[in-house]
Amino acid sequence: MKNEYYALGLMSGTSLDGLDLALCHFVKEQKWNYKVVAAATVEYPESLRAKLDRSIELSAYEFVKLDADLGKFIGEKINAFLTEQSIKPDFIASHGHTTFHQPQKGITSQIGNGAAIAAITGITTVCDFRTTDVALGGQGAPLVPVGDELLFEQYGACLNLGGISNISFRLHGIRTAFDISPCNMALNYLANKINMPYDRNGENARKGNVNDGLLNVLDNIDFYKKTGAKSLGKEWFDTVFKPCMDVAEISIYDKLRTVTEHIAAQIETVLHKQDIETVLVTGGGARNVFLTERLSVAKNRKIIIPDSQTVDFKEAIIFAFLGVLRMRGEINCLRAVTGAKTDSCGGCVYLGK
């Protein structure tokens, strides 16, 4: 079995800020090491973005059509990206775009047809990373902790501030992880109300005031009382979290400030409970200056925001790595994280030319 791979990792997050592509070089010596050869983010056309945003409302036919259309879009963007590179990856590892995620009902769906990607690019494609774990009784999420364990083990915790905030760390010598709260999914939703795609640097949240009534409602949502493996999806956001924001009769600025404080408080609760001193922060929320300021209030804790490439593409990097593990037939999903019956090696493989 070889110990060197070029892999193209793809990530489409719940915040719908685009498709991340990271062409990575992985080498296994005493441990795994990686280097990003090239990376880019492709924005979704507004028509496609709108369909993705309401994908859970589509008919069965429209949903299957969107899966195929997104796969075609991804395949074409990969071809354009690779024309600028001198290296062809051994394979593509695509997370896809999460639509339905209800592991308690045994379902999770990430669209962006892997067969279409493989057919258009001619490159073997790994996709559908979550369903094996869900079939084994797990949450199917988070998947990134395997990469945190093998590529970023030097940090006390890895915190991702994407559409959803999630964390991974070692507890009693075992890697554990879970979703903490909504993050950019909520903040972007509010920013859209004042005709902004997102709240740049948290500037609008900084203008607002905390509303104790809304903060109390958010802090008492049942999800935060759960322990063990747990994950969030768009359906939960739409039916539980968003209505709490919508009914509050306060300004958007006050909502942004209150939700930012809520996110920071939920994260702080976890960091304090686990006595974590060094935290690697990545994802789009790492660029939200006001939010990261609210995370830096504990004097004994070091919040580490790495180089911009790691901030923006860490999840795409790790999905490329999960693809490496899948192609090697090695574990890429941890039961200690997801609550499944066993560890597993997840991912469907569509062969290229």
Residue ranges of domains in the chain: 4-141+313-350, 146-309
- pLDDT above 80: residue 14: no
Q: What would the two tokens of residue 9 be? A: 């990792």
The pLDDT, as a whole number, for residue 278 is 95
Average pLDDT taken over every residue of the chain: 95
The whole-angstrom separation of Cα 269 and Cα 275 is 10
- pLDDT above 90: residue 313: yes
Instruction: Provide mean pLDDT across the span 322-343.
Output: 96
119-155 per-position pLDDT tens digit: 999 999 999 999 999 999 999 988 999 999 999 999 9
SS3 at position 14? coil
SS3 at position 325? helix
Task: Say yes or no: do domains 4-141+313-350 and 146-309 share a fold.
Answer: yes
Domain 4-141+313-350, second-level architecture:
2-Layer Sandwich (3.30)
Strand-pairing partners, residue 302, are 278
| Global confidence as pTM | 0.90
Closest CA to 285 of 195, 181, 201, 167: 201
- At the top level of CATH, the class of 146-309 is alpha beta
Mark residue 338 as left, alpha or beta (left: phi above 0; alpha: psi -120 to 50; beta: remaining): alpha
SS3 at position 29? coil
For 13, residues 6+ apart whose C-beta sits below 8 A from its C-beta are 20, 162, 163, 184, 283, 284, 315
292-301 per-position pLDDT tens digit: 999 987 778 8
SS3 at position 44? coil
Handedness of CA 88, 92, 93, 95 (dihedral sign): positive
The pLDDT, as a whole number, for residue 235 is 87
79-122 per-position pLDDT tens digit: 999 999 999 999 999 999 999 899 999 999 999 999 999 999 99
Closest CA to 202 of 186, 217, 213, 215: 186
Query: Do 186 and 256 contact (CB within 8 A), yes or no?
Result: no
- pLDDT above 80: residue 327: yes
The pLDDT, as a whole number, for residue 183 is 96
Q: CA-CA distances (angstroms) from residue 334 to 145, 181, 229? A: 8, 21, 11
- pLDDT above 90: residue 5: yes
Query: Do 193 and 185 contact (CB within 8 A), yes or no?
Result: no
Rg (CA), the chain: 19
